[in-house]
Amino acid sequence: MNRWAAAVAMLLVVPPALAVDGEPGLHDPSTVIQADGKFYVYGTGRGLPAYVSDDGWTWRRAGQVMQAVPGGGPGPEVLARGGNNTWAPDIIRSGGRYFLYYSAPGTQPKSAIGLLVGTTLDPASPDYKWEDAGPVVWSDGVEDCNAIDPGVFRDPADGNLWLTYGSYFGYIRLVQLDPKTGKRLHPASPPVNIAINSEASIVIVRDGWYYLLVTHGSCCAGANSSYNIRMGRARRVTGPFLDNMGIDMLQGGGKLFAGSTGRHIGPGHFGLLDLGGGVEKFSLHYEADLDRGGISVLDIRPLLWRDGWPVAGDNVTAGTYQIESARTGTVLEMAVQGVPVGGLRPRGPGGPGARSMSPPPPPIPAQDPAQVGGTWPAGPVGVRMGPHMVQTQQKWSIEPAPNTGGYPGAPYFKIAVAGTERVLAATSDAELTVLPAFTAAPEQLWRLDQLGDGTYRLTPKAVPGAGEALALSAIGSSMPTLARFRPDSDRQRWLIKAP
């Protein structure tokens, strides 16, 4: 058990937040990829629809990939092996080029996976174009595999490139790719079967383990879809991939990674998004977002790790919380004189030392800021850390700040003393203050990234005068500050908990 495990066990479990903003309507998304300061994702649909985001939160449609392909669609070799459809793409950068793989099914299970090659993802660039590199793998309509849903990945141990593919009909298969061309490296060698009865497969690697993530269940039926993501792991890229009960995924095994929750139905098509600094996220789609009329939407969520397995995290939702240091157990508070919850309690008979009281006293209500804040200073107030007292100055309202942008999977947040307009902000000397009113200035906007162990990194959008990102940091048990984030330290790891 790692050193934060006990603290993480106390984390507040929150329901999924609203999926990404802007134009999130998308089915079978590729892995989200970063290029030239932007984020790109591609999906199923006529011509392979493309989407772009400046921050990973607000997305917009950016045309169709096939508009930049000679002929405007799958090439003749792909059509001969599959059909004139463009489904479920995936993408990777290799050298100075991008390899975009897509499904081109005909009369299923006859299908091909085609390859497009480009040098830029920006449709506004004069160099933007995609070259048809033909089919990479295919199924003939007789074999036990349907060649759709490519998942491309690079092995960090040796740099080798691999492709998984296949649908719920028959096997999930694995082939090695040539990192220079994107085509099969050993076309005469048969593919390796690694799973069955699933689709939308991809492999990720961590600590010497290969994790195969696949999508089970049925798709394409809106809120009646049963998609869910399952996984197994292996010590070799070729398997065998076993779940946590030791069942081979070729025998139908698969540990649950993500299922339907709340008003998001049918998660599928996992894609890894590594943002660096210990922050990993994953992209997926929901077959139906009931808050958006039941359409299929893109989402980006935190990727956590527990007991050697990936865990699907959730983005923070609006609410009232305490912000507790995972290092010290003390909580962030506005530096004012606190008032004991329920008032001072006398000692002696009937007081805290009494063994019994009959009848028992009623519950103590939560503090009202209007009743205890009369002596608070009117202007800026300092920030400190103190023991958990559930007092008003320790409770923070965390809610999205509208029209201020965001970061992958989440908007920027306003953090205020609950029940007041007093907001947490960064200062020009890289310290913290509570200001009397919210102006949406960058130093008042907060990014909340969940780390792999379940704790959070809290970072202002900008610190006045600072040329780098700085994170909320615990100096000791009583003083917070802002400092460069260190993934190997617990000073900048925080728990966001119900008060």
The DSSP output letter for 328 is: T
387, 322 in Cβ contact below 8 A? no
Active-site hit among 90, 132, 199, 324: 199
Q: Is 28 a catalytic residue?
A: yes
In 222-263, at which residue ranges do the beta strands (DSSP E only) sit?
228-234, 255-258
**pLDDT tens per residue, the chain (499 residues)?**
343 443 343 344 444 467 899 999 999 999 999 999 999 999 999 999 999 999 999 999 999 999 999 999 999 999 999 999 999 999 999 999 999 999 999 988 899 999 999 999 999 999 999 999 999 999 998 899 999 999 999 999 999 999 999 988 899 999 999 999 999 999 999 999 999 999 999 999 999 999 999 999 999 999 999 999 999 999 999 999 999 999 999 999 999 999 999 999 999 999 999 999 889 999 999 999 999 999 999 999 999 999 999 999 999 999 999 999 999 999 999 999 999 888 776 655 555 555 556 788 889 889 899 889 989 999 999 999 999 999 999 999 999 999 999 999 999 999 999 999 999 999 999 999 999 999 999 999 999 999 999 999 999 999 999 989 999 999 988 999 999 999 999 999 999 999 8
Active-site hit among 28, 55, 324, 449: 28
499, 320 in Cβ contact below 8 A? yes
Round to whole Å and give the CA distance between 50 and 59: 10
Q: Is 207 a catalytic residue?
A: no
User: At a CB cut-off of 8 Å and minimum separation 6, what does 131 contact?
Assistant: 69, 70, 116, 117, 118
Round to whole Å and give the CA distance between 269 and 215: 7
CA atoms within 13 A on the CB side of 287: 23
Round to whole Å and give the CA distance between 78 and 98: 19
Place of tokens 């045309």: 63
SS3 324: strand
417, 393 in Cβ contact below 8 A? yes
* Count of all residues that appear for the chain in the document: 499
